[in-house]
A and B are shown apart, each in its own frame.
Chain A
Amino acid sequence: MSKISRRDLLQYIGAGGIGAVGGVLYGEGVQRKVELLIPQVIPPEDYSPGVATWYNTVCNQCSAGCGITVRIREGQAKKIEGNPVHPVSQGRTCARGQAGLNVLYNPDRIKTPLQNVGQTGAGHFVDISWDEALTTVGGRISRLKIEGKASSVRLLTGQVRGHLDELFAQFMGLLGSEHYQQYDFTYPGTIRAANRISFGVDQLPYYDIKNADFLLSFGADYLGTWLSPVHHSLAYGHLRQGRAGQRGKTVQIEPRMSLSGASADEWIAARPGTEGLLALGIANAIVGAGRYLGSDRDQWSNALQAYSPSVVSGKTDINEDIILRVAKEFSENKSSLAIAGGAAAAGTNAVATVVAVNALNYLAGNLNQPGGAIFNSNSAFSATSSSNQASFQEMLELIDAMESGEVEVLLVNDTNPVFSLPDNVGFRKAMEKVALVVALSSFHDETTQMADLILPTSTYLESWGDDVPDPGVGFPVASISQPVIAKLYDALPVGDIVLQMARQIGGELPVSMHWASMEEFIKDRWREEYTSRAFDGEDQDFEAFWRAALEAGVWGQPGAMDSGPSVPSSASMIAAITDPESKFAGSESDYAFVLHPYLTATFLDGRGANLPWLQEMPDPMTSVVYGSWAELNPVTADEMGIREGDILDIESPAGSIRIPALIFPAIRPGVVAIPIGQGHAEYGRYAKDRGVNPINIVAPLMDDQSGDLAWAATRVKVKATGERLHIIKTGGVSRTLGRQILGPANDHA
């Protein structure tokens, strides 16, 4: 190789230098970014990093009262599962229960007390301190109390059970206001009323689906939304495959196939509002065919003679031999059970319908029998009252009171009447007339929007409380809910807010409501219960019992089957049978369709709409996500030339909405079904301005016996607007196209 000139050498060195610099820079580039290692300042005792701990508490996503257990790691809640030892959930959870974590960690939670500075409803809120907030409320109320206008203070809350209910009652009682009411759209008031009439007991029996052989459901979506879905699902699984060589049968009667209808062996779409008639028709067939051998069969046949299958068949538009067959199966099976709920129990005939269904249970002789309707003798705790539940009628009275200015202070806790009452009854407008509306809520919904003062409440995963599941599980049960993580934000558990308000108001309130915190109150009450009633089987001292109860999250007496009321005489039942045919708002000629709003397993009455997981969960029946839709029968749709996604104008005597159409093969022609839950004007980023709320066009009819809202008794007219909208759903082609996906066709195992 020839010798290198000086100039070249320098160039080579230069090149090398450039390379070296590049190399160093590369090294800098690939270097990991600095991570910090932050130690605890003072480690909590039950803390070890990387290992999960589980805390038991109670789910509050619906009123079933499932026991849940929450997985905690490094002080954060990671997962909700069913509490294995809890008799209601038995270790299982529904989708809504799982999504409880979205409630806890929801980005749209209210973080501090807020005061409305603009005019009502405008939503100009400013942060204030708790002292400020509490003094405002406390001062106002105590003044009213002194002026002797305590009864102008109203407390409206969502369904509350256990000792929180007692706390509320005590608070209002001491205040001297008799106006403590609960309002929950899903509350089965009609069923209770019917049971009062038929059996003389004001409670929900334990429907022992688990041991039933034949389940006849009149509109009750027991797997999705009715009373205690998780418990019912467990029971359903057992009914199907739990017993060797014996598979229970289920029949569902409803105009639009619900989750339970989908799982039923037989789905019967009776004409809406005639479910009660059908029940009586079946009863008639049973008695008529001499399958009921009670001493009182003559009275029954007299009472039922007007409802011969042929007549009923005509009215319900159900083939007569179907009625006869169902009647046969119902009476022949060892343990048959009939339940009613959903739309069937939400007509102007709701109570009459449920009474008719109760009659069926009586005729099947399943009362207080395994696989039948078993009555709890509310023996768990004294604290399960339903007396405070406001019917629709009572809500109307409240609205009048507000309108007429009788209401000075309205305390609203964890309920959203502005959303779950029809627009036309004017709850929203009435709120403007109230001098001081105080909303206790974790989220910003339509009702808090109208408030003058918002007190942020901690979620159920951060609060103390207890609960007695209703309906029970056949034996005494009570569950404790405890905070599973340190509370987020500057919010307080409802109970603590009440106690603090009591302190603010002064007088005898703080004296008798002396507890420092909800925790203390609950523990105190449990001590009382513990001492007052000899808890058989617990011979240890209270502290030990308390610790055990906390650990288990539930206390109960399995095996100690309740001795419910003895089977009542049929006289009252027979007397109670009235013609159960629902009346509808709007004439059939002008309003061709029956509106069938239904609770969804996803959002229930809309309280789940702000949870992203639920928004992203495909609707079980239609696989639609994000938004709402109106279901039409394919044939009807064809006749009207409507395709999926056509925006419909649905008009009822009470108002009208615009909503995209969805062709749903399992719905009765002449019925248009709309899910409840979407259509929030407020309620956080995930729910706001999404879909429509069918309750708004529900005519304010009510059941004439219970005074509950007849939300399934509205007729509507449907017409296409010509506009279209892309309905988001996961399902592609929902037919098997002859492919053997659901199993080999040949064998019938």
Chain B
Amino acid sequence: MFDHGQPTYAEVNKDILSTMLETGPKYWILLGSTMSLAGIFFFMPWIYQLFVGVGAAGMNHNAVWGTYLSNFIFWIGLSHSGTLLSAVLHITNSPWRKSIYRSAEAMTLFSLITAALFVMVHLGRVWFVHWSFPIPNQMGLWPNFRSPLMFDVMAITTYLTASTIFIYMGSVPDFAAVRDASTGLRRRLYAVFSFGWRGTAREWHTLGWAYTFFAVFVIPLAVSVHSIVSWDFALSAVPGFHHTIFAPYFVTGAIYSGTAGIVTVMYCLRKFLNFERYIGQVHLDSLGKLLIALSLIWSYINVLELFSTWYGGTSFELEALSFRMTGFYAPLYWEMILFCAFVPLLMLTRKIRWSWNKMLVISLLINIGMLTERFIIVATSQPRKFLPDAFGFYVPSWIEISITIGSFGIFMTLFLIFIKWVPSISLYEVKETLKPLRRDA
């Protein structure tokens, strides 16, 4: 499974830890630019919006939900394959997972955080957001547990906690490795991080057991999270939202975009941290196959949605659908169909599936498609509900657009920080895959 010959344990440590221990100016420049991207495009407009009110965004009476929510779904979606994938693959113990799951899980974590930020940006009075948590309070008031948003709060916080623990637990031995490879403050710090891991058989056993347990635990959680997110929409009567298919639709979409996301991240790791040795053809190939499968499911569900709408034949649903397919946002709709249903089919040929660059392009296109999918769901349905005279329209304002751009800055910043603090490839699991070496070698 190694393209350039098998490395020794020492080499593994060196290759991977070097990414943490040795920091060149390139990194700082990159970090600086991503941080300023986040700061200028995300936080400054948001602060402005906090002062004047949500009116700074393009939303209006007929479209009270906008880009913020569609981005929220997008990021939740992106979070999906990380933990989920790594868990599934761990249980089915497929070897090719081992070198990619760490960064995949990190991706989960950070996209979840970004998503949570979008909820904050969306709220009209974010300074009261704590009211939506079931915190005992003097007013004797509790959140409304019938509200899908309430489900959301629960689901997302649980998922966030679970994946945090999952990723942390997975990296405890590696923290120990870092501790051993470093000196001074960092050594003391990683001593704490690694809970004084010593690598006894008992510890390994406990870890393995706990890790598997969590893997099993996380899978239904991940599925539930996006189902619940979908219910924010599906539980309303709004034409275009009110579909029973929505839960599987969202979950599929989520894993779909997440997997594509992983491909992108893999590409970057490989390129900038020169992990060519650890991330190879096999990963690309299997991810490619996975993507094809997902894209087919996704297309199927879309067709199903069209069918059920047509079959239901209510004026409301039909009107919503026809607006989606022929209205102002039709170009976006067809762009989505193209990128998410047809482009992935290219991966059927091995030539494309095995080429990193082509895969990068495809994975990016898929995620663009998914981003627009979420936007279309929000922007085309709810401005045109039941009363025609109240039909409205929605176009994002420059603030929304800039915040959308800035959110990628946040994600990247977090990721850059991550690769300096946690070994972005699991040392010990990679080592597990190595064939044992002769003593005298």
Contacts and interface: CB of A to CB of B under 8 A. Distances in A.
A and B touch in the complex (CB under 8 A): yes
Interface in B136-187: none
A735 B389 CA distance: 7
A235 B128 CA distance: 52
Contacts of B388: 732-737, 739, 741
B312 interface: no
B18 to A, nearest CB: 37
A736 B315 CA distance: 10
Nearest to A732: B391
Interface string B118-145: 0000000000000000000000000000
Interface string A717-749: 000000000000001111111110100000000
Contacts of B421: none
B390 interface: yes
Contacts of A739: 315-316, 386, 388
B386 A733 contact: no
Nearest to B390: A732
A737 B315 contact: yes
B387 interface: yes
Interface string B291-317: 000000000000000000000000110
B53 interface: no
Interface residues of A, number: 10
A737 B390 contact: no
Interface string B383-397: 010111111100000
Contact of A738 (B315, B387, B389): B315
A732 B388 CA distance: 6
Interface string A389-402: 00000000000000
Contacts of A736: 388
Nearest to A740: B315
Contacts of A733: 388-389, 391
Contacts of B335: none
A70 B221 CA distance: 62
Interface in B387-430: 387-392
B15 interface: no
A69 to B, nearest CB: 33
Interface string A539-583: 000000000000000000000000000000000000000000000
B276 interface: no
Nearest to A735: B388
Contacts of B384: 732
B319 interface: yes
Interface string B314-345: 01100100000000000000000000000000
A738 B316 CA distance: 10
Nearest to B316: A739
Contacts of A734: 388-389
Contact of A731 (B315, B316, B319, B389): B389
Most chain B CB atoms below 10 A, which of A733, A736, A738? A733
Nearest to B388: A733
B389 A732 contact: yes
B319 A737 contact: yes
Contacts of A735: 388
Interface string B18-31: 00000000000000
Contacts of B319: 737
Contacts of A731: 389
Nearest to A623: B389
Given A734-B389, A737-B388, 20 more contacts: A731-B389, A732-B62, A732-B384, A732-B388, A732-B389, A732-B390, A732-B391, A732-B392, A733-B389, A733-B391, A734-B388, A737-B315, A737-B319, A738-B315, A739-B315, A739-B316, A739-B386, A739-B388, A741-B387, A741-B388
Query: What are the 10 closest A-B residue pairs judged by CB atoms, nearest first?
Result: A732-B391, A733-B388, A733-B391, A737-B388, A739-B315, A732-B389, A738-B315, A731-B389, A732-B390, A734-B389
